[in-house]
């Protein structure tokens, strides 16, 4: 175990170690307690410590206008940040605060992939959080490249720490099972999500007035994109079943628009014995959006056609198409094998 420097102490909780810096701990003149990165053997841990103690190596500290802190300050008053939704701004601000606490005084141009890896791995106990922090740093540096903060983005060479496949898509038999076993007010949300390929928040906000000429108009909350999605014949049939309790298409068990509580209601149902298989296979609501992409691709749709439905980037669609093409090619390969003399 690496010896801890002055004024740093360890706290163990739930099998994990957390490290904090606090000068004068236990005295009447104790300073502010600041959490440090998780691994005291990593360079990023010592960068944070040296920053707090004023020992940051001079060659790593950039002129004030070109530091990570300066980049964060500039980004937070940019039009790109201002266009974000309030909830997204809060999330970004939280991650930027974390980045500032570790890399704040460093010259943006000195950041290399190894530094990004150290930042990511210092939050290894929470892989999803680690990936979100790296994604935030990537957003910052990408924004800074054309503004001369850096020449390139070192985050692009760093892979995600969490499971790269994420949560799996639902199979068609899962959808059919859900139809038989979900309460109607939850089933309607699930099926609209599947046949429109939209996020939960956008699905819950859909209005009856948005349906016109066999299409539904959507403005995505996260991206601000305007989409017009033709109604799949299965969705048209389901819409005819849904009672019109409100101007919103989807309502809760009390026949009121979903203001809140959907996640809790969904999780309560998923925790019942009827959905033990879903839990074991990690099927979550967001997997319905991935199912929509996979089903569209398996139907022969192009990346552009899928993107026109879901509003996702071509890069994201291509990521899903790798999985779809692998399954398609594997099936073809087995058929060829079975028909061959070697079968």
Could you please report the per-residue DSSP string of 25-77? TTSTT----EEE-S-TTSHHHHHHHHHHTT---GGGBPPGGGBHHHHHHHHTT
Residue 188 sits in the same domain as residue 255:
yes
**Best CA proximity match to 285, nearest among 207, 222, 198, 227:** 198
For residue 27, the model assigns a pLDDT of 86
- Under 8 Å CB-to-CB from 167, ≥6 apart: which residues? 282, 283, 284, 286, 287, 290
- Asked, for residue 28, whether it belongs to a domain, the answer is no
CATH classification of the domain holding 180 = 1.10.443.10
CATH classification of the domain holding 45 = 1.10.150.130
Q: How far is CA 6 from CA 10, 25, 46, 51, 248, in A?
A: 12, 11, 12, 14, 59
Residue 186 sits in the same domain as residue 323:
yes
Residue 47 sits in the same domain as residue 132:
yes
- Asked, for residue 230, whether it belongs to a domain, the answer is yes
Q: What is the pLDDT along the chain (343 residues), one digit of tens a residue?
A: 557 888 888 888 877 788 888 888 888 888 888 888 777 766 667 767 777 776 554 444 444 678 898 899 999 999 999 988 888 899 999 999 999 888 888 889 888 888 888 788 777 767 778 888 999 999 999 999 999 889 899 998 787 776 545 678 899 999 999 999 999 999 999 999 999 999 999 999 999 999 999 999 999 987 888 999 999 999 999 999 999 999 999 999 999 999 888 988 998 999 899 999 998 888 889 899 999 998 998 888 888 899 999 998 877 787 777 777 777 778 778 888 888 866 5
Residue 83 sits in the same domain as residue 211:
no
- Asked, for residue 199, whether it belongs to a domain, the answer is yes
> Which residue range forms the structural domain that includes residue 327?
172-332
Residue 143 sits in the same domain as residue 215:
no
- Asked, for residue 19, whether it belongs to a domain, the answer is no
Domain total in the chain: 2
- Asked, for residue 220, whether it belongs to a domain, the answer is yes
Q: What is the CA radius of gyration of the chain?
A: 25
């Amino acid at each position: 175990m690496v010896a801890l420097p002055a004024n740093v102490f360890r706290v163990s909780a739930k099998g994990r170690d957390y490290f904090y810096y606090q000068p004068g701990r236990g005295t009447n003149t104790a300073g502010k307690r600041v959490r440090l990165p998780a691994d005291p053997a990593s360079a990023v841990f010592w960068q944070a410590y040296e920053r707090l103690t004023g020992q940051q190596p001079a060659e790593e500290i950039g002129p004030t206008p070109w530091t990570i802190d300066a980049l964060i300050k500039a980004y937070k008053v940019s039009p790109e940040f201002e266009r974000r939704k309030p909830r997204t701004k809060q999330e970004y601000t939280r991650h930027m605060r974390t980045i500032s606490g570790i890399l704040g005084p460093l010259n943006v141009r000195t950041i290399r992939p190894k530094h990004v890896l150290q930042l990511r791995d210092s939050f290894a106990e929470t892989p999803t959080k680690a990936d979100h922090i790296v994604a935030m740093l990537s957003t910052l540096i990408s924004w800074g490249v054309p503004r001369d903060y850096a020449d390139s983005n070192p985050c692009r060479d760093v892979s995600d720490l969490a499971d790269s496949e994420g949560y799996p898509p639902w199979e068609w038999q899962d959808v059919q099972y859900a139809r038989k076993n979900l309460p109607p007010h939850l089933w309607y949300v699930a099926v609209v999500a599947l046949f429109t390929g939209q996020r939960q928040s956008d699905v819950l906000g859909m209005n009856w007035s948005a349906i016109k000429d066999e299409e539904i108009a959507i403005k995505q909350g996260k991206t601000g994109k305007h989409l017009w999605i033709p109604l799949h014949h299965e969705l048209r049939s389901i819409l005819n079943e849904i009672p019109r309790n409100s101007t919103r298409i989807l309502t809760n068990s009390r026949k009121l628009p979903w203001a809140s509580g959907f996640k809790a209601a969904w999780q309560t149902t998923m925790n019942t014995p009827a959905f033990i298989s879903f839990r074991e296979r990690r099927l979550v609501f967001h997997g319905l959006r991935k199912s929509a992409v996979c089903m569209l691709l398996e139907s022969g749709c192009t990346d552009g056609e899928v993107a026109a439905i879901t509003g996702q980037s071509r890069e994201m669609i291509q990521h899903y198409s790798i999985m779809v093409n692998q399954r398609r090619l594997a099936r073809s390969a087995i058929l060829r094998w079975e028909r061959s003399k070697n079968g």
